[in-house]
Amino acid sequence: MPTFAHLLPPSWKTAVTAWLEEDTPSFDYGGYVVGEVQREAFLLGKGKSIAVLAGVPFVDEIFAQLGCTVEWHMSEGDTFEPVKKVATVRGKARHLLLGERVALNLLARCSGIATKSRYFLDTARANGFKGIIAGTRKTTPGFRLVEKYGMLVGGIDAHRHDLSSMVMLKDNHVWSTGSIKQAIETVRKVSGFTLLIDVEVRSEVEADEAIDAGADIVMLDNLEGEELYAVARSLRQKWEGKRKFLIETSGGIDENNLKERAVNDIDILSTSAVHQSVQHIDFSLKIQLPKEEKEGGPAGSSTV
């Protein structure tokens, strides 16, 4: 049975090593205090609302590199209501705490992106939208893999991952080249038949030029309301049976105007709202004392 973890490239584990090195570049002073006694810790999903769990393989690898094990009590992509014990982590106390903040920060952001992505998808579907909801490339440098992963767990399309995975010609490409037609013809010579060409346009006239030149996708950038609907319908009618292309809407899409933009004259709705300034999901890791130590220790000593 495929899982989202099967999407990850062989190189991703080196990022986890770098995260751990960044968080403890020299001495582990707090770890000196707790030592290496074996402990069990509860990973708790907190926050104030229902959330989607995302980031499981990254958390597994963080603790695996520290010699700890993680037992998950729910599946990635499932929703949970706070407060929920989502996993139990076992290992040496010092090692649990070495991975704690790295794991919690990772899980908080990845789950936040998945939660917002799921909200956008569910809202669009409830509005009758049958097309694609996609994130954008406005991701955090060095953290793109995690953020795109969160979108996929949330159920939306991750759009292009980088400059090599699809051709996107925007205003600067067109202005630098001289015209939409020239930009498309130039890039087609080197991009081959495997890459789609997505062209950002600002009007129906520009969209016609892009479609005529062979664009696979026309992005109607920052067109809204009746203008968006009218241009999309006109393009479909005008080019029916002559060219195959998809229509994308992008620019300023958020929770407030999602329903307005999610209409079936559009094939793709792309937004950065699912990952930029997204609300993180609160998680905590609480080390538990064995029963005999709880009974023999001072009051309130159930966590470290």
pLDDT tens for residues 3-18?
999 999 999 999 999 9
* List of residues 6+ apart from 273 with CB closer than 8 A: 116, 120, 253, 254, 255
Q: What pLDDT, on the 0 to 100 scale, is given for residue 297? A: 53
- Sequential DSSP letters for 84-134: EEEEEEEEEHHHHHHHHHHHHHHHHHHHHHHHHHHHHHHHHHHTT--SEEE
DSSP 274: T
pLDDT in tens, 48-71: 899 999 999 999 999 999 999 999
Q: Extract the tokens encoding 189.
A: 């010579």
State residue 273's pLDDT score.
96
**Phi, psi dihedral angles at 32 (to 5 degrees):** -60, -35
CATH class of 4-120+280-287: alpha beta
What pLDDT score was predicted for residue 302? 37
**Domain range list for the chain:** 4-120+280-287, 157-270
Q: Which two tokens stand for residue 145?
A: 């893999």
Q: Write down the pLDDT at residue 277.
A: 84
**4-120+280-287 against 157-270: fold identical:** no
- Output the pLDDT for position 231: 96
Class of domain 157-270: alpha beta
Backbone angles phi, psi at 81, to 5 degrees: -100, 135
**Contact status, residue 219 vs residue 201, Cβ threshold 8 Å:** yes
Q: Looking at the annotation, which residues are catalytic?
A: 138
Which pTM value belongs to this model? 0.93
10 Å Cβ neighbour count for 10?
6
Q: What is the pLDDT of residue 294?
A: 64
d(CA 98, CA 24): 8
Q: How far apart are CA 24 and CA 75, in angstroms?
A: 30
**Tokens 């998809």 belong to residue:** 246
Residue by residue, pLDDT tens for the chain (304 residues) are: 889 999 999 999 999 999 999 999 999 999 999 999 999 999 999 988 999 999 999 999 999 999 999 999 999 999 999 999 999 999 999 999 999 999 999 999 999 999 999 999 999 999 999 999 999 999 999 999 999 999 999 999 999 999 999 999 999 999 999 999 999 999 999 999 999 999 999 999 999 999 999 999 999 998 989 999 999 999 999 999 999 999 999 999 999 999 999 999 999 999 999 999 899 999 999 999 887 666 665 444 333 3
